[in-house]
Amino acid sequence: MNAPLTTVVVTNYNYGRFLSHALDSVLAQSYPHIEVVAVDDGSTDNSLDVLRAYGSRVRVIRQENRGVSEARNRGIREGRGELVAFLDADDAWLPEKLSKQVALLESGDFGMVYCGLRCVDEDGNLLGEMTDGLSGRVLRELALLETPGIPASGSSALIPKRCFEVVGLFEPALSTSADWDLWRRIACRFPIGMVREPLVSYRLHGASMHRNLDLFEHDMLLAFERMFADEAAKDVHPLERRARAKLYMTLAGSFFRSRRWRKFIDYCGKSLILHPDGLIHLAGFPLRRLVPTARLDCLERTVGR
């Protein structure tokens, strides 16, 4: 069988300092059947100079700043591959990433295959690894934000292009939780697979979008509204009270870490009204202070943050 062409969509906004590392990691893949489409989302730094240095090896698309979802969607539309993979410009891949994912994808009727993560700091130093995750039919677990969930950053996903025709593209109204929203829509219709190796270096740094707690709050609330208005997710609609309670407790935990006590108390109250069993989880919040921040940042990838 001929190996399918994979479109690698590299999205960038003012990450010129990391961009070469990301692109080099794509071009070093052991899987040779790729095209690289770099979508620059209105950068004002040296990103274009970095991109030009790659010549014909990277197809560059420039657009006005529209956000990461629109940048990924542009790459999907412009790509010619049967499969689509994504890489944020501040992340990087290990060389066997695509080879191992394509092999798993071709072994079953998966709507997405993802892999484990290596969480690294701004200088690339290892902070921790995420190698546990769900596979199979996982809509219920996604709706209930169960741990380990799908600790898949956009940079770890490999998706057949035909799936986008069924479930749609990334939601432009979302940013930090656009990944979770798309994984959820895929899970409504397809099984999901995981390569249990940390094949993506997910970089945690001060400018990371995931650190914007207010945006995370906005996006997850909107993503849940979309889920419970989606007929394709009807199997989990009976779980709405429990799922919303879990989301509110998750938000409470994030605000606890940030010492934003009013928001913490507000979401605790909302969660307990819907599902009083959350008292057990609430009692464990003080212990979260004992877990290193970097480790928690990695863990919170399970809910798209």
Decide if 93 contacts 199 (C-beta within 8 A): yes
36-41-42 Cα angle (round to 5): 130
CA torsion sign for 58, 62, 67, 73 is negative
DSSP string, 119-178: EE-TT--EEEEE-----BS-HHHHHTT-SS-----GGG-EEEHHHHHHH-S--TT-STTH
> 101 with 31, same domain?
yes
Two tokens, residue 212: 């914007």
Q: Would you call the peptide bond into 238 cis, given omega within 30 degrees of 0 as the criterion? A: no
> 228 with 202, same domain?
no
CB-CB neighbours of 5 under 10 Å? 14
Q: How far apart are the first and last CA of the chain?
A: 38
Decide if 135 contacts 206 (C-beta within 8 A): no
> 166 with 282, same domain?
no
Q: Is residue 14 part of a domain?
A: yes
Domain interval for residue 256: 211-303
Place of tokens 């989606």: 230
Q: Per the structure, how many domains does the chain have?
A: 2
Place of tokens 């690289």: 36
pLDDT at 290: 45
> 287 with 191, same domain?
no
> 30 with 86, same domain?
yes
pLDDT at 295: 46
Residue 199: which H helix or E strand, with range?
strand 192-203
Strand partners, 117: 130, 200
> 218 with 201, same domain?
no
pLDDT at 302: 46
pLDDT at 207: 58
> 110 with 188, same domain?
yes
Q: Is residue 106 part of a domain?
A: yes
Two tokens, residue 225: 């509204």
Q: Is residue 184 part of a domain?
A: yes
> 248 with 141, same domain?
no
Decide if 190 contacts 105 (C-beta within 8 A): no
Domain boundary among 208, 241, 275: 208
Q: Is residue 169 part of a domain?
A: yes
> 204 with 71, same domain?
yes
Domain boundary among 190, 208, 226: 208
HEC per residue, 247-296: HHHHHHHHHHHCCCHHHHHHHHHHHHHHCCCHHHHHHCHHHHCCCCHHHH
CATH code of residue 86:
3.90.550.10
> 126 with 238, same domain?
no
Mean pLDDT by 10 residues, the chain (305 residues): 90 97 98 97 97 98 96 98 98 98 95 95 91 94 88 89 97 93 97 96 73 89 98 98 94 90 94 81 56 50 46
Name the nearest CA neighbour of 38 among 117, 251, 29, 54.
54
Domain boundary among 153, 181, 208: 208
Q: Is residue 1 part of a domain?
A: no
> 98 with 162, same domain?
yes
Tell me how far CA of residue 276 lies from CA of 45, 51, 251, 280, in angstroms. 49, 53, 16, 9
Distance, C-alpha 277 to centroid of its chain? 29
> 202 with 218, same domain?
no
234-173-149 Cα angle (round to 5): 50
